[in-house]
Amino acid sequence: MSDHFDIAIVGAGPAGGNAALTAAQSGLRVVLLDEQPAAGGQVWRGKSPSILSAPMTPETKAGNDLRHAIDQSQINHMSGTRVWDIRRDGDKWSLQILCDAQSLQITATSVILATGAREYVQPVTGWTTPGVIGLAGATALFKQSLSLPGDKTVVSGTGPLVFFVASEIRRLGGTVAAIVTPNTRADWARALPSMLQHPKLLARGGVWMADLMLAGVPILWGHAVSKVCGDDHVTSVQTQALESDKQGPIFEADSLCLGHGLIPQIEAAQMLGVPIHHDPALGGWVPDVSPDGVTPVKNLYLCGDGCGIRGALAAGLQGTLTGARVARDLGKTAPAPSIRAWQRAAGFGKAMTGLSIVKPKLEALTSDDTILCRCESLKRSDIRAEITTGAKSTNAVKSGRRAGMGPCGGKYCQTVIAALIAKETGKPIGAIPPSTPRPPLRPVPLGQAAGDFHYDDLPIPKPAPL
């Protein structure tokens, strides 16, 4: 196998998967890289073999269709493969990848980043207690292994995902203690016009709601979790009404799914020099990119939730647009699909993302005692002290307090820290960019990054002058 490809695609979710299919149809050599064991990304995540007989959901079906199409194609799909660095090397890109605990390098003429999103959790006291998991993270549990977060679960967060997660927990035989969502019915009414464009998705939402109501699961609109109680495990969850600040009910539970929307994973794009801007309606900082994936960086393309949270449907359509665009840019004949369908889907996705824009009252539930940086156990008071003594950027806070220097690389604290800097300095959030991302994109064992070597062959340069 030659290790040069026309196109290397990072991420085999709806976006990357469809980009790969479209590009491969035009006869290009495509490699599709994803650290997951199967294609499908977050939303169409494959099941682990032990549960293959479990009932089919629309996500499994869409994922199976994608996986089947990839299997039938000429695409070189490398699953279980982690991309840890990408850089320009003359007229091509070189990618460092980890596959079966082996470090390899491949090269490609063009790169498509389809790295998707990660979850945002607005920290509250106790959110790091064992038994608390992400709301989106919970969907991975269901899809991959059909396991439940606990026996009795509070499900809390924004957007449609709370209802999906609650109904999945019930379907899998768990008990939902309550649904707690910062969104109000009025928030949903505002999103309705864009939802009407997608009757199928709307209907699915209707089914979840009907199930939850029939089961008598309490739904607290306009509420949030204000505190998670329990020493070494969740024992109960306190709630609060956001508008009135009134304390809400306390629910006994052994688990909590908590999430407040998604954030685009932009680190790879940033590292390769794509400019970014802040757009709350798209989940925060997003790279500059056209609907068909073109960026200001030559031969670098982006698609899917990694360039703005627009949802799975839009991600797939943008993947197709981008795959066709790259093929044409590489001199192949490929269809030039209309962007209308993507725009429609994106409108819906943005309306859903809008439901997760953090409300000031929700932000106010993060107190000085709340841990903001899990890796370094830093409380909001620690970060605030750093800001009030003069650190005015995310990089400065990172340097002074190590917030963002732990294994997560800042993925889980940078958003809330930037918001705090903005608040303390009176600047708009769009003036506080995330800290400089650094390779590796994922932590890599040193021995694997170094690769096999013979000491005598190490290219040791001339030592410094005496």
Partner 1 sequence: MTDQTHYDIAIIGGGIMGCSTALRLASGGMSAIVLDQGDLGQGASGVNAGTLSLQIKRVKLMPYALKGHHLWEEMGDAVGFAKTGGYTLAFNAREAEMLHERQTMKAKAGAPIEFVSNNRLRAAEPNLTQKVQAASFCPEDGYANSSLTGQYYRGRLQDAGIPYREGCKVTAIDQGAAFTLHTAQGKITATRILLAAGAWLKPLAALLDVDLPVNARVNTVSVTERMPPLMSSVIGHATGLLTMKQKANGTVLVGGGWQGLGTPQDGRGTVNTATVKPNLALAQYAVPALAKARVTRSWTGFEANVPDFYPLAGALPNVPNAFVLGCVRGGYTIGPYIGQLMGDSILGREPEMPLFDPGRDFEKDTI
Ligand X SMILES: Cc1cc2nc3c(=O)[nH]c(=O)nc-3n(C[C@H](O)[C@H](O)[C@H](O)COP(=O)(O)OP(=O)(O)OC[C@H]3O[C@@H](n4cnc5c(N)ncnc54)[C@H](O)[C@@H]3O)c2cc1C
Residues that bind partner 1 (CB under 8 A): 85, 87, 94, 96, 105, 271, 386, 389-393, 395-396, 398-400, 402, 405-407, 409, 436, 438-440, 443-447, 449-451, 453, 455-456, 458-461, 463-466
Taking CB under 6 A as the criterion, the residue among 94, 122, 125, 139 binding ligand X is: 139
In the list partner 1, ligand X, none, the entry touching 43 (Cβ below 5 to 8 angstroms by class) is: ligand X
Place of tokens 């030559």: 298
For 341, residues 6+ apart whose C-beta sits below 8 A from its C-beta are 317
Residue 356 beta carbon to ligand X: minimum distance, rounded to whole angstroms: 11
84 and 41 Cβ atoms separated by less than 8 Å: no
Q: x-or-dash pattern for ligand X, window 284-323, by CB under 6 A?
A: --------------------xxx----xx--x--------
In the list ligand X, partner 1, none, the entry touching 392 (Cβ below 5 to 8 angstroms by class) is: partner 1
Cα separations (Å) of 263 from 136, 187, 295? 12, 20, 19
365 and 122 Cβ atoms separated by less than 8 Å: yes
Round to whole Å and give the CA distance between 341 and 40: 21
Taking CB under 6 A as the criterion, the residue among 25, 42, 96, 183 binding ligand X is: 42
Both tokens of residue 234? Answer: 């969740």
In the list ligand X, partner 1, none, the entry touching 449 (Cβ below 5 to 8 angstroms by class) is: partner 1
Stretch that binds ligand X, among 110-118, 219-227, 239-247, 289-297 (CB under 6 A): 110-118
In the list partner 1, ligand X, none, the entry touching 315 (Cβ below 5 to 8 angstroms by class) is: ligand X
Q: Measured at the alpha carbon of residue 254, what is the angle toward residues 252 and 258, in degrees to the nearest 5?
A: 95
Pick 69 or 405: Cβ nearer partner 1: 405
Residue 437 beta carbon to partner 1: minimum distance, rounded to whole angstroms: 9
**Under the criterion CB under 6 A, does residue 117 sit at the interface with ligand X?**
yes
Both tokens of residue 389? Answer: 């003594």
183 and 222 Cβ atoms separated by less than 8 Å: yes
For 179, residues 6+ apart whose C-beta sits below 8 A from its C-beta are 154, 155, 156, 162, 163, 166, 212, 217, 218, 219, 220
Round to whole Å and give the CA distance between 303 and 10: 10
Residue 231 beta carbon to ligand X: minimum distance, rounded to whole angstroms: 27
Pick 49 or 390: Cβ nearer partner 1: 390
Applying the rule CB under 6 A, the residues between 68 and 107 that interact with ligand X are 82-83
Stretch that binds ligand X, among 5-13, 175-183, 223-231, 393-401 (CB under 6 A): 5-13
Phi, psi dihedrals of residue 124, rounded to the nearest 5°? -130, 165
Applying the rule CB under 6 A, the residues between 254 and 283 that interact with ligand X are 262
Taking phi first (over 0 means left), then psi (-120 to 50 degrees means alpha), and beta for anything else, what does residue 136 get? alpha
Amino acid at 304: G
